[in-house]
């Protein structure tokens, strides 16, 4: 694959080290004298701590320190703020509130001794009743989980609503047809290949703290450490090295990170702490857990008029969701989806339960996963009610291209779209009519084949800073670009890739703006000492925000180059034209052949050339990009399944995915993102589930029980694209990193339920395991 001058397919620059096993991850960091930490975790979902005896552990010859909640309380660090302005116990002092919660931290000379010493800590617990089912959390006799909150009388976190209730109710009251459906988007976990961990190194002499951890938001982490621990921010360096997958699991600050820092301060040595798989599955950010009731009002001929939604959101024991402050339910209220309707209203109630905190993770675009699932299931429920074809029903109700920019009933301003075209392309690729004929024939023979459609619109690229912040930090991103004398460049950005290929695509952005090769642009990220401030990589915001910053800073550099070129050519800057041809970018004097390449200009900018008054030498610039709006990628997905009528086993036979993420910087990387997200979606729809028993014991704490999809469950994806540029993004790009995870679960579920149509099944909750499908076929779709 040749290297393009700007946008286009090119192999990932980072793969050169990844495929040689030369990536550098947190666990690869080994410092002289480094100690190892391990966390003692609660076996109970809810229990009062009576006493903790650490004496035997401390007597272990290799143990250097044992830290408990009491130790931390002395430092005012027993509790830390969450990203949702709640508090979370770093190490439990009063009670444990979920199974797997952090209780004590052992620091020892080696990993094994640290683990061994955990067994020597004696904790006496007084077990309490646990709240596991969110639907029982608000019962009058439910135990109060957060009795650390003064005056708290129940387990409610918040009530939140969006849209216009009165208008929506009025439309429902008049409607010819209404349908209602309860559904659960179950608790799932992003389960990245690399678990979480940290190496903390506090230098007593300089007072500098260096923390290596796989964070998706290095700058936000640093500022929070400074605010919480009272350490001077310039004395904290957060380094996020190569990351083995994040998927939202690595946005938050976990107790283990704080423990590693305290461990280093206490012992005066660097301390490494790495989770194992069970710890990751049990205690780090989960996703979803939304109990939803959807209602749709429509005319008898299938025009949708209004949607009404009620949600019970299970946030676990601490409200640790990572999302913009003003959005307690994330971006869930984009649930009117891709459809043109008159009114909408939603009410979301967030509650505490005795489960791990989290909620916004796993390629969710801040809960748009749940929103898209809801509306796309509801469309199919309506289609069943009306006896309509789900594709036709969608075509009839999709927003039309002339309606953009479009303001939704819940206040989102969709930037651009051409939805019918995208759905039509997916249907053409699928051979939709032929598939329906095949299905009819198979049904006659008693075979179960299903065709599922989902159309999604996402809102990605948070800010602007005026509307969106995390704990007061506005969502805008900096970028710095320096062109060296020889015309090679270094771009510094605040976001941090976990596998998305930023070192390649961000180099391509600079390359296309400056007319140089992406191979000549180094992208520096993931180190707060080396990069400008910004909010990080999640909610598919890197391309919409940091990517825009990369384009804008390149344009600033190009403008500076124009001034330098004008001095070189003894021409007026206004008379120069920018052009990129096969040999690269150059400023040329209009109408003449005279011109200077960006490389010649770079050298001159560092030379003795006399520059005009006010024009600085060198060739570099900085910028902060504050996005005017989110970007709204969309897509049409069609899934074809075969269901074994004897076992309920679902086979995904085909999956057609047409994505529109505006201008594609690197189509190969975009396709990789879509492939990954589709696999995630198949996994969630068919097999992934974080389950608990009624005492709160975690039933999915290993990959034996928490099932991830493999190539065996995935068909050969059939991808298509349409390109509707974002009008406000400097290069017309929209984010794509979560699109397929958002869009694919409803397509798979719709397909399975379409296959089960002969059984009259209207809905069954994910995951549609063989047992779940079997139950649905028996007329009992509810999991117990
Ligand atoms: N891209 C492009 N053209 C576009 C849009 C994007 O070439 N029009 C490229 C980007 O430049 C980038 C990649 O596609 O290299 C993803 O871009 P973007 O949509 O901006 O998403 P982010 O980079 O912000 O990544 C975050 C997103 C999220 S929130 C989750 S969760 C997720 C995802 O990315 N986690 C991932 N994809 C993942 N992929 C991998 N391998 N690992 C993860 O942890
Ligand atoms: Cu919601 S998971 Mo991604 O935003 O890191």
For ligand 2, the distance from its centroid to the CA atom of residue 537, given in whole angstroms, is 8
Q: What is the pLDDT of residue 784?
A: 47
The string of DSSP letters for 594-634 reads: -EEEHHHHHHHHTSSPPPPTT--SSEEEEEEE--SS-B--E
**Which of 737, 738, 742, 743 best tests ligand 1's pocket when mutated (most atoms within 8 Å of CB)?**
737
Integer Rg of the chain from CA: 27
Q: Is the CB of 665 under 6 A from ligand 1?
A: yes
Ligand nearest to the CA of 367: 2
Q: Where do we find the tokens 């979301």?
A: 348
Cα torsion 250, 256, 260, 263 to 10°: value is 170
Q: How far, in Å, is the centroid of ligand 1 from the Cα of 169?
A: 39
Confidence (pLDDT) at 162: 98
Is the beta carbon of 366 within 6 A of some atom in ligand 1?
no
Does the fold of domain 476-625 match that of domain 31-128+194-244+250-283?
no
Q: What is the atom index within ligand 2 of the atom nearest the CA of 322?
A: 1
Q: Which fold has domain 31-128+194-244+250-283?
A: Aldehyde Oxidoreductase; domain 3 (3.90.1170)
β partners of residue 407? 413
pLDDT for residue 383: 98
Ligand closest to CA 324: 2
pLDDT of 581: 87
Query: 334 CA to middle of ligand 2, Å?
Result: 16
Q: 82 φ, ψ to 5°?
A: -95, 175
Q: CA nearest 540: which of 737, 334, 247?
A: 737
What class has domain 286-462+629-777?
alpha beta
* Domain regions of the chain by residue span: 31-128+194-244+250-283, 286-462+629-777, 476-625
**Topology given in CATH for the domain delimited by 476-625:** Aldehyde Oxidoreductase; domain 4 (3.30.365)
Ligand 1 lined by 13 (C-beta under 6 Å): no
For residue 747, give both structure tokens: 């397509």
SS (H, E, C) 651-708: EEEEEEEEEECECCCCHHHHHHHHHHHHHHHHHHHHCCCCCECCCCCECCCCCCCCCC
361 lines ligand 2 (CB under 6 A): yes
CB distance 670 to 736 below 8 Å: yes
Please state the ipTM of this predicted complex.
0.99
CB distance 496 to ligand 1 below 6 Å: no
Q: Name the residue of 510, 735, 742 whose CB sits within 8 Å of the most ligand 1 atoms, as the mutation to test its pocket.
A: 735
Q: Using the atom order of ligand 2, give the atom closest to the CA of residue 246.
A: 5
> pLDDT averaged over consecutive 10-residue blocks of the chain (784 residues)?
87 96 97 98 98 98 98 95 94 98 98 98 98 98 97 97 98 98 98 98 97 98 91 96 98 97 97 98 97 98 98 98 94 98 98 96 97 98 98 98 98 98 98 98 97 98 96 96 98 97 98 97 98 98 98 98 96 96 92 93 96 91 98 98 97 98 98 98 97 96 96 97 98 98 98 96 97 91 58
> Residue 225 — φ and ψ, nearest 5°?
-60, -40
Residue 349 beta carbon below 6 angstroms from any ligand 1 atom: no
pLDDT at 229: 82
pLDDT at site 3: 79
pLDDT of amino acid 226? 94
Distance 422 CA to ligand 2 centre (A): 25
Nearest residue by C-alpha to atom 41 in ligand 1? 499
Euclidean distance between the first and final Cα of the chain, in Å? 52
* Cα 59 to ligand 1 centroid, rounded to whole Å: 48
- Distance between CA atoms of residues 712 and 322, nearest Å: 33
Going from the Cα of 253 to the center of ligand 2, the distance in angstroms, rounded, reads 14
Q: Is 6 in the pocket of ligand 1 (CB under 6 A)?
A: no
d(CA 580, CA 364): 38
């Amino acid at each position: 694959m040749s290297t393009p001058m700007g946008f286009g397919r090119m192999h990932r620059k980072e793969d050169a080290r990844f495929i040689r096993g030369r990536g550098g991850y947190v666990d690869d960091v080994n410092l002289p004298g480094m100690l190892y930490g391990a966390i003692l975790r609660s076996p109970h979902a809810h229990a009062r701590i009576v006493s903790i005896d650490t004496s035997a552990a401390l007597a272990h010859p290799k143990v250097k320190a044992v830290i408990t909640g009491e130790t931390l309380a002395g430092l005012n660090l027993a509790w830390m703020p969450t990203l949702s302005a709640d508090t979370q116990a770093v190490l439990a002092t009063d009670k444990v509130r979920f199974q797997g919660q952090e209780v004590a931290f052992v620091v020892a000379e080696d990993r094994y001794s640290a683990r061994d010493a955990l067994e020597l800590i004696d904790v006496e617990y007084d077990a309490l009743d646990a709240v596991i089912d969110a639907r029982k959390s608000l019962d009058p006799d439910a135990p109060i989980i957060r009795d650390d909150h003064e005056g708290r009388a129940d387990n409610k976190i918040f009530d939140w609503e969006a849209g216009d209730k009165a208008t929506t109710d009025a439309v429902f009251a008049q409607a010819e047809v209404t349908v209602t459906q309860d559904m659960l988007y179950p608790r799932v976990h992003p389960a990245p290949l690399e678990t979480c961990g940290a190496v903390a190194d506090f230098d007593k002499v300089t007072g500098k703290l260096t923390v290596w951890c796989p964070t998706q938001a290095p700058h936000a982490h640093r500022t929070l450490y400074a605010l919480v621990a009272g350490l001077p921010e310039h004395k904290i360096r957060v380094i996020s090295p190569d990351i083995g997958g994040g998927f939202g699991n690595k946005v938050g600050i976990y107790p283990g990170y704080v423990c590693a820092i305290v461990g280093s301060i206490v012992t005066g040595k660097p301390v490494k702490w790495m989770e194992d798989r069970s710890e990751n599955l049990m205690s780090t950010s989960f996703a979803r857990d939304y109990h939803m009731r959807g209602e749709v009002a429509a005319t008898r001929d299938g025009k949708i008029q209004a949607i009404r939604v009620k949600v019970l959101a299970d946030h676990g024991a601490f409200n640790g969701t990572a999302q913009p402050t003003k959005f307690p339910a994330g971006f869930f209220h984009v649930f009117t989806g891709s459809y043109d309707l008159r009114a909408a209203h939603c009410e979301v109630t967030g509650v505490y339960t005795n489960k791990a905190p989290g909620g916004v993770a796993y390629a969710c675009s801040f809960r748009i996963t749940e929103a898209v699932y809801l509306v796309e299931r509801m469309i199919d429920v309506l289609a069943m009610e009306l006896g309509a074809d789900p594709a036709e029903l969608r075509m009839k109700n999709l927003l039309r291209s002339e309606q953009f920019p479009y303001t939704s009933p819940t206040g989102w301003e969709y930037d651009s779209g051409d939805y019918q075209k995208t759905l039509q392309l997916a249907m053409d690729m699928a051979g939709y009519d032929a598939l329906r004929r095949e299905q009819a024939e198979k049904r006659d023979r008693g075979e179960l084949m299903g065709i599922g459609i989902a159309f999604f619109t996402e809102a990605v690229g948070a800010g602007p800073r005026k509307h969106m912040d995390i704990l007061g930090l506005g969502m805008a991103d900096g970028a710095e670009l320096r062109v060296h004398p020889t015309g090679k460049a270094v771009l510094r950005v605040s976001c941090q890739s976990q596998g998305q290929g930023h070192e390649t695509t961000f180099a391509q952005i600079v390359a296309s703006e400056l007319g140089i090769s992406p191979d000549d642009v180094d992208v520096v990220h993931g180190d707060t000492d080396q990069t400008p401030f910004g909010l990080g990589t999640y909610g598919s915001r890197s391309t919409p925000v940091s990517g825009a910053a990369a384009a804008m800073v390149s344009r600033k550099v190009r403008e500076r180059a124009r001034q330098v070129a004008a001095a070189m050519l003894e021409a007026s800057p206004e008379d120069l034209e920018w052009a990129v041809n096969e040999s690269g970018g150059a400023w040329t004097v209009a109408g003449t052949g005279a011109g200077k390449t960006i490389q010649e200009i770079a050298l001159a900018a560092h030379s003795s050339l006399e520059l005009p008054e006010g024009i600085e030498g060198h060739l570099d610039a900085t910028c902060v990009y504050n996005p005017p709006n989110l970007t709204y990628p969309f897509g049409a997905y069609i899934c074809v399944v075969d269901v074994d009528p004897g076992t309920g086993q679902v086979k995904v036979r085909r999956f057609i995915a047409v994505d529109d993420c505006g201008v594609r910087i690197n189509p190969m990387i975009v396709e990789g993102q879509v492939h990954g997200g589709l696999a995630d979606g198949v996994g969630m729809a068919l097999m992934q589930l974080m389950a608990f028993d009624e005492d709160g014991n975690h039933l999915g704490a290993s990959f034996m029980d928490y099932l991830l999809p493999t190539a065996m469950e995935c068909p050969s994806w059939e991808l298509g694209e349409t390109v509707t540029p974002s009008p406000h993004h400097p290069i017309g790009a929209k984010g794509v990193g979560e699109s397929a995870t958002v869009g694919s679960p409803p397509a798979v579920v719709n397909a399975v339920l379409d296959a089960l149509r002969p059984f009259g099944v209207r809905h069954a909750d994910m995951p549609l395991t063989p047992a779940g499908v079997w139950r649905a076929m028996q007329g009992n779709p509810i999991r117990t």
